[in-house]
A and B are shown apart, each in its own frame.
Chain A
Amino acid sequence: MVTGLIGRSAGRLLIPFIFIFGFYVVAHGHISPGGGFQGGAVIATGVALVLVCYYYRECMENFIEAKNFKLIESAGLILFICTALAGLVLASSFFFNWLNASGGLFGNPVEYGVNAGDLFTAGIIPVLNFAVGIEVFGGLSVVLLYMFAGLKESSAKEDESETVSFAQTEDES
């Protein structure tokens, strides 16, 4: 399996836009349609495009390691649970919206009725969106990396040697 030049060029053009769009879907989850799960899936699609466009060993040397993806996923789940527990400590109950209309982070007062919406409203909902987004992104990327590790395409040099040996056996036969 040879990674082609056309695929690599198209991926080099498209990958930053895919990452930016995924983060946009995560950050605007409480205004426009979308949210944590959908945005995380879009960012994981960008990681899948990186893995398709380059060889596995090049990805492991120049891209983010699998250990850091596991760390991102665990940090997302821990941030989710700790935000909910802070509602238990600072206010009345578990999952209480303790940042809503408090004047701090994401605490602007809301205009009631039909309006376009402000990005810094809605209390802890953007924080939970971000936590779920990085959790889904890390989890799906870890699954993709573990499945790509089983393929027999490790580097360009081994790929060339395999194709040359295959052509020589064809000529001998």
Chain B
Amino acid sequence: MARCSVPPKLTIFLIIAVTLILLLPAFGLSFGHPLTSNTDQYYIDHTQVDTGSNNAVTAIVFDFRGFDTLGEATVLFIAVLGVSMFFRRRH
């Protein structure tokens, strides 16, 4: 087992320094004012005309992004199938 040539305190300091340097652009952002909001404004304007639903979140989940919901339901079905295979009784 090869010994590490860098002392551990210096390693921790380097990790923290690199993390702070990578996080520097995130400190300049203000919450609630994104740079571009084209898709958000499209959903807010067109969800009643397009789907007829008053709840915009449900309209996005079940109409604009229907394939995501289909995949989620299939994943839950396969997970339950695996649990029922794992817990079956031996006769």
Chains A and B are bound partners = yes
Residues of A within 8 A of B (CB): 29-33, 35, 37, 70, 73-74, 76-77, 80-81, 84, 94-95, 97, 100-101, 110, 112, 115, 117, 121-125, 128-129, 132, 135-136, 139-140, 142-143, 146-147, 149-150
Known: A73-B77, A95-B67, A129-B62. A150 touches B53 (CB 8 A): no
- Chain B: residues with Cβ within 8 Å of the partner, total of 29
Residue from B52, B69, B84 with most neighbouring chain A CB atoms (10 Å): B52
* Residue of A30, A97, A149 touching B58 (CB-CB under 8 A): A30
Complex CA–CA separation, A94 to B65 (angstroms): 12
Residues of B within 8 A of A (CB): 48-55, 57-59, 61-63, 66-67, 69-70, 72-74, 76-77, 79-80, 83-84, 87, 89
Query: Nearest CB to that of A112 among chain B residues?
Result: B48
Contact B67 A30 (CB under 8 A): no
Contact B70 A81 (CB under 8 A): yes
Which residues of A lie under 8 Å from residue B83 when comparing CB positions?
142-143, 146
Shortest beta-carbon distance, B91 to chain A, in Å?
A: 13
Which residues of A lie under 8 Å from residue B69 when comparing CB positions?
128, 132
* Residue of A29, A73, A94, A132 touching B80 (CB-CB under 8 A): A73
Contact B80 A84 (CB under 8 A): no
Contact B63 A146 (CB under 8 A): no
Contact B63 A143 (CB under 8 A): no
Which residues of A lie under 8 Å from residue B76 when comparing CB positions?
135-136, 139
Contact A139 B59 (CB under 8 A): no
Query: Nearest CB to that of B67 among chain A residues?
Result: A95
Contact B58 A77 (CB under 8 A): no
Contact B52 A146 (CB under 8 A): no
Complex CA–CA separation, A125 to B58 (angstroms): 8
Known: A35-B58, A95-B66, A100-B51. A135 touches B77 (CB 8 A): yes
